[in-house]
Amino acid sequence: MPSDATPPLQEPTFYILLSLSQEAKHGYAILKDVEDLSSGKIKLGTGTLYGALSRLLDQGLIQRVDGAGPEDDTHPGKPRKAYALTHSGLGVLHDETARLDGLLSAARRRLKELRA
Amino acid sequence: MPSDATPPLQEPTFYILLSLSQEAKHGYAILKDVEDLSSGKIKLGTGTLYGALSRLLDQGLIQRVDGAGPEDDTHPGKPRKAYALTHSGLGVLHDETARLDGLLSAARRRLKELRA
DNA sequence: AGTGTATATGTCATTCGATGATATATGGTG
DNA sequence: CACCATATATCATCGAATGACATATACACT
């Protein structure tokens, strides 16, 4: 059964999954990474971020992992919590990328005819 | 003033605007067109469609126009109501296409590193 | 010691769009 | 006449994003 009927991801959720696709990160690191990833266009609010993380955990698209790297010794703020993509999460990310591709190529087709 | 801060469109809304980019259509025609446009993947419910049309009118992204073509003589069902993209709507459609492009290229960058 | 800043996590009410169910109306076909 | 495709519309509900608020801590500067 090919990963079926996942409803379209919204922009923040997509970026969060994408940010985790390389390596495990903790919340605040995702926040900063997404800002880079989107060329500064997207600045997640913490409400959006932690709300999404909680939801994605429930859905099994991400999971908790311990110690994000060896340099988790002394840092300010509350204790870090690291997250990683699950197998299922990676699948959804690929599906979603394919969906965007379909959307974009449909748009280009139509918008091209406009210039003709 | 460059079209500012339009929140990301969701899939149904995007397809509706895209469908109107070529020519004016009435609601039910949009319904069918979007099904083609998306290779049968998207089947809009009428709640989604007419809800979106009403909202897009309010936002000034589309407008009512009369008689969709000369063949609006005898047809079943309630009287047709045709809609067309406004200037503003076309702008949003272009912005949105650019946003998708950014999203997709960010995804490809990251996902490519995965295979390396 | 006190003040500020960057790091770090979390909750909450509100808003907004999508969804599926339901309703209504009508022309053409079997 | 029953059925179907066409055609528009409303409604309650759900899910995700958002911004405001709250809490905690390490470090730097005065």
DSSP string, chain A: -----PPPPPHHHHHHHHHHTTS-EEHHHHHHHHHHHTTT-----HHHHHHHHHHHHHHTSEEEES-SSTT-SS-SSSPP-EEEE-HHHHHHHHHHHHHHHHHHHHHHHHHHHHH-
* Residues in chain B within 8 Å Cβ distance of A107: 14, 18, 93, 97, 100
Measure in Å the smallest separation between the Cα of B45 and chain A Cα atoms: 15
Share of chain B above pLDDT 70, in %: 88
Q: Which nucleotides of D are covered by protein (CB under 7 A)?
A: 5-12, 15-27
A75 Cβ contacts chain D strand, under 7 Å = yes
CA diameter of chain A: 61
pLDDT of residue A4: 58
Establish how many alpha carbons lie within 13 A of residue A7's alpha carbon, considering only the half-sphere containing its beta carbon. Answer: 5
Mean of the per-residue pLDDT values for chain A?
91
Enumerate the residues of chain B whose CB falls inside 8 A of the CB of residue A102: 38-39, 41
The stretches in chain B having pLDDT less than 70 are 1-5, 67-73, 115-116
3-class state of residue B75 by DSSP: coil
Q: Give the separation between CA A39 and CA A106, rounded to whole angstroms.
A: 25
Please check the confidence at residue A32 and state whether its pLDDT lies above 90. Answer: yes
Strands (E), chain B: 25-26, 62-65, 82-85
Question: With contact defined as beta carbons under 8 Å apart, do A64 and A82 qualify?
Answer: yes
Query: Using an 8 Å Cβ cutoff, are A103 and B100 in contact?
Result: yes
Instruction: Identify the weakest region by mean pLDDT among A4-18, A33-47, A85-99.
Output: A4-18
